[in-house]
A and B are shown apart, each in its own frame.
Chain A
Amino acid sequence: MADSSPSANLLLLLLISSLYWLFTPGSAFLIDRDHNTSSAPLEPHFTECISREQETFRCWWSPGSYHNLSSPGALRVFYLKKDSPTSEWKECPEYIHSNRECFFDVNHTSVWIPYCMQLRGENVTYFNEDDCFTVENIVRPDPPVSLSWTLLNISPSGLSYDVMVNWEPPPSADVDAGWMRIEYEIQYRERNTTNWEALEMQPHTQQTIYGLHIGKDYEVHIRCRMVAFTKFGEFSDSIFIEVTEIPTKESTIPFTLVLVLGIVGILILIMLIVITQQHRLMMVLLPPVPAPKIKGIDSELLKKGKLDELNFILTGGGMGGLPTYAPDFYQDEPWVEFIEVDGEDGDSGEREDNRASDTQRLLGLPHPVSHHMNMGCSNAISFPDDDSGRASCYNPDLPEQDTLMLMATLLPGQPEEEEASFDVEERAPASSERSLVQAQTGGPQTWVNTDFYAQVSNVMPSGGVVLSPGQQLRIQESTSATEEETQKGKEDEDSKETEEQKQKELQFQLLVVDPEGSGYTTESNVRQISTPPSSGEGYQTIHPQPVETKPAATMEDNQSPYILPDSPQSQFFSPVADYTVVQELDSHHSLLLNPPPNQSPPPCLPQHPLKAPMPVGYITPDLLGNLSP
Chain B
Amino acid sequence: MPGNIRSVCAVWAMLVCLVFCGKLTTVDAAPLCTNAQAGCHVLSLANLFDRVIQHSARMHGISNDLHSEFELYFLPSKNQIGRVSRNCHTSSILTPNGKENAQRMAREELTEVILKLLVAWRDPLWHFHQSMAHHHDFNNFSSNKSLEMSDMVHELRKGVQKVVEKMQMLGIISNSVSNLASPEALLASDSAEWRLMKDYDLLYCFRRDSNKVQNYLKILKCRIVPEHGC
A132 and B79 contacting across the interface, CB-CB below 8 Å: yes
In the bound complex, CA of A108 to CA of B98 (Å): 10
Interface size on A, residues (CB 8 A): 28
| B82 x A132 contact (CB < 8 A) | yes
Query: Which of B15-23, B31-39, B140-148, B211-219 lies at the interface?
Result: B211-219
Residue-wise interface mask of A (127-159) relative to B, using a CB-CB cutoff of 8 A (1 in contact, 0 not): 001101110100000000000000000000000
Produce 1/0 per residue, B51-64, CB < 8 A to A.
00000010011001
A174, B82: Cβ atoms closer than 8 Å: no
Given known pairs A133-B81, A178-B221, A178-B222, the reply for A54 and B99 (CB within 8 Å) is: yes
Task: Report if A130-B98 is in contact (Cβ < 8 Å); known contacts: A177-B103, A178-B222.
Answer: no
Q: Which B residues touch A112, using CB under 8 A?
A: 95, 97, 208, 211-212
**Does B78 reach chain A (CB closer than 8 Å)?**
yes
- The number of residues on chain B lying at the interface, defined by a beta carbon within 8 Å of a beta carbon of chain A, is 27
Within 8 A of A (CB), among B196-230: 208, 211-212, 214-215, 218-219, 221-222, 230
CB of B219 within 8 A of CB of A178, answer yes
Asked if B7 is an interface residue, CB under 8 A from chain A, the answer is no
B63's closest neighbor in chain A, by CB? A228
For the complex, is A22 an interface residue (Cβ under 8 Å from B)?
no
**Beta-carbon contact of B85 and A114 below 8 Å:** yes
Contact with B along A103-143 (1 / 0, CB 8 A): 00010011111101000000000000110111010000000
Q: Does any Cβ of A come within 8 Å of B28's Cβ?
A: no
A179 & B82 in contact (Cβ 8 Å cutoff): no
Distance, CA A136 to CA B81, complexed state (A): 13
Contact A177 B222 (CB under 8 A): yes
Closest to B82 in A: A132
CB neighbours of A178 from chain B (8 A)? 215, 218-219, 221-222, 230
Closest to A53 in B: B99
Q: Would you call A55 and B98 a contact (CB within 8 A)?
A: yes
Assembly CA distance A54 to B212 (angstroms): 12
- The answer to whether A114 touches B81 (Cβ under 8 A) is yes
A85 close to chain B: CB less than 8 A: yes
CB distance from B67 to the nearest CB of A (A): 10
> CA A55 – CA B103 in complex, angstroms?
13
A227 interface residue per 8 A CB criterion: yes
| A35 part of interface (Cβ distance < 8 Å) | no
A385 contacts partner chain B, Cβ-Cβ < 8 Å: no
- Using A132-B81, A176-B230, A177-B230 as known contacts, say yes or no to A110 and B98 having CB atoms under 8 A apart: yes
B137 at the interface (CB under 8 A from A): no
Q: Is A543 an interface residue (CB 8 A)?
A: no
The distance in angstroms between the C-alpha atoms of A176 and B208, with both chains bound, is 22
B134 touches A (CB below 8 Å): no
B60 / chain A contacts, CB cutoff of 8 Å: 228
Determine if A227 and B97 form an interchain contact, defined as CB atoms under 8 angstroms apart: no
Partner of B86, one of A85, A129, A132, A229: A85
Given A85-B86, A227-B57, is A179 in contact with B99 using a C-beta cutoff of 8 Å? yes
A83 within 8 A of B: yes
A82 interface contact, C-beta 8 A: yes
Is the beta-carbon distance between B215 and A179 smaller than 8 angstroms? yes
A179 in contact with B218 (CB, 8 Å): yes
30 of the cross-chain contacts (CB-CB < 8 Å) are: A54-B99, A82-B82, A85-B86, A106-B100, A110-B98, A111-B97, A112-B211, A112-B212, A113-B97, A116-B81, A116-B82, A129-B78, A129-B79, A129-B82, A130-B78, A130-B79, A132-B79, A134-B81, A174-B99, A176-B230, A177-B99, A177-B218, A177-B219, A178-B230, A179-B215, A179-B218, A181-B57, A181-B218, A227-B57, A228-B211
Chain A to chain B: the 7 pairs with minimum beta-carbon distance, closest first: A178-B218, A110-B97, A132-B81, A114-B85, A228-B64, A178-B222, A82-B85
Add 6 more A-B contacts to A111-B99, A136-B208, A177-B103 (CB < 8 A): A82-B86, A106-B100, A112-B211, A133-B81, A174-B99, A178-B215
